[in-house]
Structure 1
Amino acid sequence: MNPPVDLAKTADRDGGRPRYVERAELVLAMPHHKPLASLGLNPDPLQQLAAAMATVRSEAGEEADVVLDLVPVSPGKIARRRRRLIAASRRRGPSAYGEKLTSVGGGGVVESLTAAWSGGASSSRGTGARSQKLPRMTDVRDSVGKFEPGAAVFAVQLLLRVAAGHPQQSAARMHQLLAVFAITSGPNYLKPRRPRTRRAKAAFDRRFASGEFHPPRQQWLTVPELGGFLKPPTARCHASSVVRSGGLVPPAPAHLPVYTGQPDLVPLGAVTYPDGRERIGAARVRDLLFGLQLGKSGNGKTEAALVQAIAMAHCGYGVWFLDPHGEAWARAKPYLAHPHLFDRVWEINLAKCDLEQRVVSWNPLSMEGRTESDVQDVVRSVTEGIAAAQDWGDHAPRARTILARTVQALALLSLRAVQDGRPELQPTLFQIRTWLTDEDWREALLPVLPQRVQTYWRTTFPTLAKEAVPTVTYVMDRLDTSQSLQAFFGSPRSAYDIRAAMDTGRIVWVCPSGSESDALVSCLLIHDLHRAALSRQDTPRADRRTFWAWGDELTAVDSSSKGFLAALCEQVRKYEVRFTGMTQMALRLSPITRQALLQNQSLLSTCAADYDEAAFVARRWNGHVTPETITELPKYHYVMSINLDGAPTTPFRVRGLPVEEIYAHYENPDGIPELDAAIDTNLQRRPVGDILAELEVLDDEILAHFTGRQPPPAAAGGPTTRIG
């Protein structure tokens, strides 16, 4: 224990409040060749210092500073000091070594010590040299202490200064700091020395502020004595005031492109380059074919995708963004409200349900612009989409078969309606229920279809269990509970055509309604994206425009469509569709989907994740990053690897940039009304009430067209609008 000391106190004023300042300089209590305790790493010597600093209330005007100044000592000075210590030991006599050091035959003590340092060899010759007795090595070390040959030595100045609004608070803070350095006590220890006079206090403050090196006495310390306070905090330093590095992550590649708006680059975020400067790093368009973004909700996956989508839109690329929550569209809209983009923007927002609200419609069964050979693609797209949303998997083979056959029949009816010049009479998803539950309606339309289709419905279908039909119609019943979904899926003619969007560079933002049918909508849209991408086989490779797609919440579409997302990852990039998937939990994806995502990715990014997910990602980086590093990532910080010049990089750290920061020059909220008007024109949006009124009588009009039967007269007051 250090004896209590009366530390220097000074009262002054800071902003009208009194401040009490205490000063102390720590000096060695014993001769400086005696060492302080050598501090290890467990416990971390910085733990107590960090804990003491954490209690300082800076908002109340308190301060606490520790200044440690080091000046290297030259080897020559250390050698001279070592010789003086040896010479002093000679004058002390036998007590320094435990036996008397004398010379026989002209040899000296210094020569004996030199022989001891060199392993016993002596330069003296003759009988005198042979008769002298070498000192023990332990005695030599006791004599020179810590200044052994090869030791790195520094001259040290250690100043402590605290300030508080009350003298007792100031004293308490100083004693906390003194307790920190008490752990260095060993053969030597540090004791506080206070400036007593006004002049001494002024000299102390001058050294404190300017770094002037002028300790009151010579004190040299070695690396083992200082290392515990000069190293960074370890994992065993748990104080809240410690700023963490976030773990060891390899540096970014020196040749990583810098983004300044180039159309051939995709922005990634703020990256620290080898010169220490932070710039916006980027991936090259030619290298980024498929991306996978992982991590917790609310940690920046969507924000990173949003930054990339806006960049690609302004550079003239086509964009498709599945935004299940609608938040990304609200943020993106002001940055897309520019005249040169107006004719390219499409908005599919299913959260709107006012009868007067103008909305876009999509008929997945539409055959406009298609041929009979496209029927199989429509059947697969719709069937797989509904099956995925319902999580049928292998548990509902009859329902899947009945649905596929129903979609086939209705798609063929749509093709006939288009060939007859009546595309407004194409069946929609809601006619699936009519086809399965209204036997008279189905029988009346069967003669229009090919004989092989009629055979199935007249011979095979009646033998199937009746329980399978409600499984299929349940989907339509759910859609019928939402006016926005009735309007989106209830019009025979589609304004939404993803193939046309690919070929003409449209900017498509899809926001499902936020209802329980979100999964169904998302599945149908992503399956249709896959179908449209494969249909580009009819276009020469050189003529295919690059189209960028982002899909959030992949787990919602992967549950039962075995192999579909894997096929998406493997195939669409061949047709110039660049897809980036986002999900919170990769481990919830099916094994085949996970394998395809990781096998084909040219961008792998993760924000903070729980340990299991972090360990899964860290294994893909072959030990370059630990799971602990990923779990402790701050919000909007990522670890990612990309393909660069055809080869994968090691993972590196990226700080996410919010849209407001990187695209401040694009922000134009005043242009949103004009953008909405342009979207109405681009998608020929119609009022919800009009679409629902037409859907109410569509069954009868289809029947009338193909059979010649006249529909029953509408009730007085016009057609009835079906309200979900």
Structure 2
Amino acid sequence: MTNAVDVAKPTVAQRPPAGRHVQRAELTLALADQKPLASLGLNPDPLQQLAAAMASVRTEAGERADVVLDLVPVREGLLARRRRRLLAQSTRRGPSAYGERLTGGMGGGGMWGSVTAAWSGGKKANRGRSERLPRMTDLRDGVGKFDLSAGAVFAVQLLLRTEAGHPQAALARMNQLLAAFAATSGENYLKPRRPRTRWRISHFDRRFATGEFAPRKRQWLTVPELTGFLKPPTVRCRASSVVRSGGLVPPAPSNLPVYTGQPDLVPLGAVNYSDGRERIGATKVKDLLFGLQLGKSGHGKTEAALVQCIALAHSGYGTWFLDPHSEGWVRAKPYLAHPHIASRVWEINLAHCEPDQLVASWNPLSMEGRTLSVVKDVVRSVTEGIAAAQDWGDNAPRARTILARSAQALALLNHEAVKAGHPEAQCTLFQLRSWLTDEEWREQLLPELPQRVRDYWEKTFPKLANDAVPTVTYAIDRLDTSPALQAFFGSPRSAYDVRTAMDTSRVVFVCPSGSESDALVSCLLIHDLHRAGLSRQDTPRDERKTFWAWGDELTALDSSSKGFLAAIAEQLRKYEVRFIGMTQMALRLSAITRQSLLQNQSLLSTCAADFDEAAFVARRWNGHVTPETVTELPKYHYIMSINLNGTPTKPFRVRGLPVEELFAHYDNPAGVPDLDKAIDTNLRRRPIGEILAALEDLDAEVLAHHTGRRPGSTGAGDPTTLID
């Protein structure tokens, strides 16, 4: 529907090509123009029938349907002259009520006498007695809709035109348009007038094409008569041809920073600023502590996180991205393949399991670079990680105690091995199973532990039920089913150390294997992230480098981490660790995690979501956004609020930008092979087959280092078992 026509370059409409059939109609008032059309309300929406008629037009078949509504404001002088003429015509007829004449003519009676009486409180100016006055509606009958309360009045030209390849199709489309305008019928109605002669057809086409204002007769309409067709479609206009605005959302803050690559800004996406121009909006690094991104799968949450991660990596920050499906890493890799970043990039990809595949290793029990006082933190991290992944809760106190005591014993042995200069003789998670199930191996290593530790294993452990041990070893048995996980957890020396990553600004992508052990792996990683963040207490505040962490599939991560995501949001801000989580369903997060993230968030973002999820996040914005607005967001569009200069903003719209659009200048697929070589060097990656072969002999190596004997030896009296 067109409300205005550009008349700067008028052109005469051309005749339709052969084989095309055109219907034309001009709608005019059938009765005197002071009689009003119906005032259309909002329910039903007057545009519903018109939009439905437009939706039925088959544009692919070359059909067209056009409605041209031209408006010209009527000057107040013309409107006043029209009122006087209508009033004069009505005076000659005399006022009436219900078809009966009320008073005499001019002079003492009539209309003017009635008006004068109204001004004088009901008294006739030339008579002493009162006389019955007409109703106020009678005074308005003469001018009709043009009374003083009518407001603005417009001269109108309303042209309809349809075109199709068959005459009946063109006629059908015209009849649909006429039916849509039939809803305006009231005291007056619109009558279609079709041009028949060649001159009238040419005159119609010229007005239609150029915007020339020359209606067939005077067509004056008031605002109530026009509003139904000039307003935007409401929610009750459900035709498929209506383009929705997406609901009412507050504008972006006028002082929202614009991202052009500044290292102290984090890009958010494309934002419409107050001048109407679209720019890349951003939040300040100092304002973004924790974030929560919600919404449907495939609507851009991971993409937005990748944009932020890549931007911060190029700005020199350390980043850690937990990518369960490794899709994010595949997209990000070409944009990180640059010499100034390659030396900082770590890739932990557990999806590969070929013997010659190079992988990095991580030993959660490693004591390299750690003091004896850190043993308790290592024990807690491993114990809580495995216990949470197994969903022990408070229902397995014996298993939790056995696991903690086992991790303590192995960590102490590892500390001694590192202290002696033999970090290759450290125990891994797989030695937890050996410690609990191989009594002979354990008995030979116990003398290497402090007496208080030995007392538990010599006096308390033998009294515990045998069914507690399989509960603990079950987690290790699960890790043992995947060669990739065996290689990742089976090396005594760690190349992956998240505390080192924090302090040296590494760019880390962790991609679990996609196996049933993902929950256990993610749990251990999250608990280790928490431990490493707290360990930064030993570094002065002004020397702590800001480290950013992202967790995808937050619901699955939360179900296995059991509260440690909440601990990260509550505690790690002090140690310059920032965390942003992405999830489809906030309502499926545990209550403690959801409350903590919402309490501490400085970025809350949502793409399209189910109504319940939309209502949940809309309540956080205090009515500035409705749930319906959230549910109808287009793909890759978000509504978000941030902290700006320490103050929460109102929610505003953001259009997501794909990595290739925002960072096209960083795209370097040719540099990926060199990046892979750099990662091999950065993480000292080794073939899976080599790590697994060493793991087979690790029990013997540990025993040999601490006792000088191999498993199965009978003691120092057997010279064949002595180690040089």
Task: Name the TM-score class by shorter chain.
Answer: over 0.9
Aligned to 1:315: 315
The TM-score normalised by the length of structure 2 is 0.93
The equivalences for 1:539-550 within 5 A come to 539-550=539-550
Give the drift of 1:139: 2.1
- CA–CA distance in 2 between the matches of 1:12 and 1:71? 29
The equivalences for 1:149-228 within 5 A come to 149-152=148-151, 153-228=153-228
Aligned to 1:140: 139
Deviations 1:574-624 (A, max 9, x none): 111111112222222222221111111111111112122222211111111
Cα contact 1:34–1:146 (8 A) shared by 2 = yes
Deviations 1:64-112 (A, max 9, x none): 1111111222333222212211211223346687343655793464523
Cα contact 1:387–1:560 (8 A) shared by 2 = no
- Matched residue SS, 2:638: strand
Task: Call closer, same or farther: CA 1:430–1:119 in 2, change over 3 Å.
Answer: farther
Cα contact 1:112–1:134 (8 A) shared by 2 = no
Task: Call closer, same or farther: CA 1:75–1:114 in 2, change over 3 Å.
Answer: farther
Give the drift of 1:114: 4.0
Q: Name the aligned partner's letter for residue 169 of structure 2.
A: Q
- Matched residue SS, 2:172: helix
- CA–CA distance in 1 between the matches of 2:444 and 2:318? 44
- Matched residue SS, 2:657: coil
Aligned to 2:67: 66
Deviations 1:618-660 (A, max 9, x none): 1111111112211221111111111101111111111111111
Cα contact 2:550–2:579 (8 A) shared by 1 = yes
Is structure 2 residue 612 aligned with structure 1 residue 612? yes
- CA–CA distance in 1 between the matches of 2:601 and 2:430? 38
Give the drift of 1:141: 2.5
Aligned to 1:601: 601
Q: Name the aligned partner's letter for residue 134 of structure 1.
A: L
Cα contact 1:90–1:101 (8 A) shared by 2 = no
Cα contact 1:10–1:22 (8 A) shared by 2 = no
- CA–CA distance in 1 between the matches of 2:255 and 2:670? 40
- Matched residue SS, 2:343: helix
After superposing the two structures, state which structure 1 stretch, 657-666 or 89-98, moved more: 89-98
Cα contact 1:107–1:132 (8 A) shared by 2 = no
The equivalences for 1:510-589 within 5 A come to 510-559=510-559, 561-589=561-589
Cα contact 2:116–2:124 (8 A) shared by 1 = no
The equivalences for 1:87-486 within 5 A come to 87-93=88-94, 98-100=99-101, 103=104, 106-107=107-108, 109=110, 111-112=112-113, 114-115=115-116, 121=121, 125-127=125-127, 134-152=133-151, 153-486=153-486
Give the drift of 1:390: 1.8
- CA–CA distance in 1 between the matches of 2:516 and 2:400? 21
Task: Call closer, same or farther: CA 1:60–1:689 in 2, change over 3 Å.
Answer: same
- CA–CA distance in 2 between the matches of 1:68 and 1:385? 69
Aligned to 2:697: 697
Give the drift of 1:711: 5.5
- CA–CA distance in 2 between the matches of 1:513 and 1:700? 29
Cα contact 2:95–2:110 (8 A) shared by 1 = no
After superposing the two structures, state which structure 1 stretch, 457-466 or 544-553, moved more: 457-466
- Matched residue SS, 2:67: strand
Q: Name the aligned partner's letter for residue 140 of structure 2.
A: R
Task: Call closer, same or farther: CA 1:685–1:69 in 2, change over 3 Å.
Answer: same
The TM-score normalised by the length of structure 1 is 0.93
Task: Call closer, same or farther: CA 1:105–1:571 in 2, change over 3 Å.
Answer: closer
Aligned to 1:718: none
Aligned to 1:673: 673
Give the drift of 1:426: 0.6
Give the drift of 1:115: 4.1
- Matched residue SS, 1:67: strand
- CA–CA distance in 1 between the matches of 2:595 and 2:58? 52
Aligned to 1:622: 622
- Matched residue SS, 2:622: coil
- CA–CA distance in 2 between the matches of 1:324 and 1:643? 29
- CA–CA distance in 2 between the matches of 1:105 and 1:616? 71
Cα contact 1:324–1:514 (8 A) shared by 2 = yes
- CA–CA distance in 1 between the matches of 2:432 and 2:689? 22
Task: Call closer, same or farther: CA 1:94–1:535 in 2, change over 3 Å.
Answer: closer
Give the drift of 1:259: 0.8
Cα contact 2:608–2:630 (8 A) shared by 1 = yes
- CA–CA distance in 2 between the matches of 1:165 and 1:357? 65
Aligned to 2:502: 502
Give the drift of 1:304: 0.8
- Matched residue SS, 1:69: strand
RMSD: 2.1
Aligned to 1:42: 43
- CA–CA distance in 2 between the matches of 1:119 and 1:317? 81
- CA–CA distance in 1 between the matches of 2:170 and 2:105? 63
Q: What are the ranges of 5 or more consecutive residues in structure 2 without an aligned counterpart?
A: 1-12, 714-724
Task: Call closer, same or farther: CA 1:214–1:96 in 2, change over 3 Å.
Answer: farther
Give the drift of 1:514: 1.0
Cα contact 1:97–1:140 (8 A) shared by 2 = no
Aligned to 2:4: none
- CA–CA distance in 2 between the matches of 1:552 and 1:105? 87
Q: Name the aligned partner's letter for residue 351 of structure 2.
A: A
- CA–CA distance in 1 between the matches of 2:387 and 2:558? 10
**Matched length:** 700
- CA–CA distance in 2 between the matches of 1:567 and 1:450? 32
Is structure 2 residue 46 aligned with structure 1 residue 52? no
Cα contact 1:350–1:485 (8 A) shared by 2 = yes
Cα contact 1:621–1:650 (8 A) shared by 2 = yes
- CA–CA distance in 2 between the matches of 1:115 and 1:67? 46
Task: Call closer, same or farther: CA 1:262–1:112 in 2, change over 3 Å.
Answer: farther
Task: Call closer, same or farther: CA 1:560–1:462 in 2, change over 3 Å.
Answer: farther
Aligned to 1:722: none
Q: Name the aligned partner's letter for residue 89 of structure 1.
A: S
- Matched residue SS, 1:127: coil
- CA–CA distance in 2 between the matches of 1:619 and 1:564? 26
- CA–CA distance in 1 between the matches of 2:630 and 2:388? 31
Aligned to 2:637: 637
Give the drift of 1:322: 0.5
Aligned to 1:84: 85
- CA–CA distance in 1 between the matches of 2:322 and 2:114? 82
Aligned to 1:6: none
Give the drift of 1:389: 1.7
Q: Name the aligned partner's letter for residue 394 of structure 1.
A: D
Aligned to 1:30: 31
Deviations 1:148-202 (A, max 9, x none): 2121221111111111111111111111111101111111111111122233222
Give the drift of 1:680: 0.7
- CA–CA distance in 2 between the matches of 1:12 and 1:608? 45
Cα contact 2:520–2:560 (8 A) shared by 1 = no
- CA–CA distance in 1 between the matches of 2:362 and 2:20? 72
Cα contact 1:89–1:96 (8 A) shared by 2 = no
Q: Name the aligned partner's letter for residue 148 of structure 1.
A: D
Give the drift of 1:251: 1.0
Q: Name the aligned partner's letter for residue 521 of structure 1.
A: V
